[in-house]
């Protein structure tokens, strides 16, 4: 009888392990979270006559999780892009500033890692060149209409390195129709390396 009871108890334990009937202590997730971030931007006009340069971006995101593994993300970035012309008669630099608004989907294969893709809308703030002078206001600004607002796309991955801090790598591009005879094209891409700080701890179970 004792042997039978022991075998029966071991059988129950094996079934519990086999079918994972116990509670998943890691199943929680925050529906809402926010991050503050900054990126190093290594970008360029997608033309052979320009050379990539380094600039920066900074902003905030708001994330809504549908489940432990899927989330919708949006926010705003102050995005700066720099590059140099590599022409015989032009070695000047361009500096463009945008407000970028992402709308992306995130997939979380683990609590520390996620992958992301989605669209961007880039609203042009300023466009300047180190060589030109706008006689109208004595600045280095390009005339209106040379560079424009544009839609784009991004691909990214992000990894949690410590507590609320993540690092990320992102590739984005955006494009709009341009004058085919002009050296200035609305056709850009950039590689971004980022640091993110979450306002709410994603590893701490919400009450």
Give me the residue label for tokens 């640091």: 195
Q: Are residues 64 and 72 in contact, defined by beta-carbon separation less than 8 angstroms?
A: yes
pLDDT for residue 15 = 45
Q: Class of the 29-198 domain?
A: mainly beta
Q: Look at the alpha carbons of 129, 133, 138, 141 in this order and tell me if their dihedral is positive or negative.
A: negative
pLDDT for residue 97 = 98
pTM given for the model: 0.85
Which residues of the chain are under the pLDDT cut of 50? 2-9, 15-16, 19
Q: Which of 62, 77, 37 is nearest to 172 (CA)?
A: 77
pLDDT for residue 18 = 52
pLDDT for residue 152 = 98
What rounded mean pLDDT belongs to the chain?
A: 89
Burial letters 49-80, b for 16+ CB under 10 A, else e: ebebbebebebebebebeeeeebebebebebb
pLDDT for residue 82 = 97
């Amino acid at each position: 009888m004792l042997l039978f009871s022991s075998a029966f108890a071991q059988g129950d334990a094996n079934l519990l392990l086999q079918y994972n009937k116990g509670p998943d202590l890691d199943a929680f997730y925050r529906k809402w979270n926010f991050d503050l971030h900054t990126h190093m931007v290594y970008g360029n006009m997608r033309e052979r006559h320009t050379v990539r340069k380094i600039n920066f971006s900074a902003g905030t995101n708001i994330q809504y999780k549908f489940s432990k593994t899927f989330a919708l993300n949006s926010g705003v970035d102050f995005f700066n892009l720099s590059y140099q012309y590599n022409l015989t008669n032009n070695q000047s630099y361009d500096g463009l500033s945008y407000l970028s608004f992402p709308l992306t989907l995130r997939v979380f294969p683990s609590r520390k890692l996620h992958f992301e893709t989605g669209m961007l809308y880039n609203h042009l703030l300023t466009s300047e060149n180190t060589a030109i002078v706008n006689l109208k206001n004595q600045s280095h600004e390009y005339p209106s209409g040379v560079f424009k607002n544009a839609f784009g796309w991004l691909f990214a991955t992000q990894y949690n390195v410590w507590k609320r801090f993540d690092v990320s790598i992102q590739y984005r591009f955006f494009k709009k129709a341009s004058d085919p005879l002009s050296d200035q094209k609305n056709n850009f891409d950039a590689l971004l390396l980022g640091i993110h700080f979450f306002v709410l701890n994603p590893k701490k179970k919400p009450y």
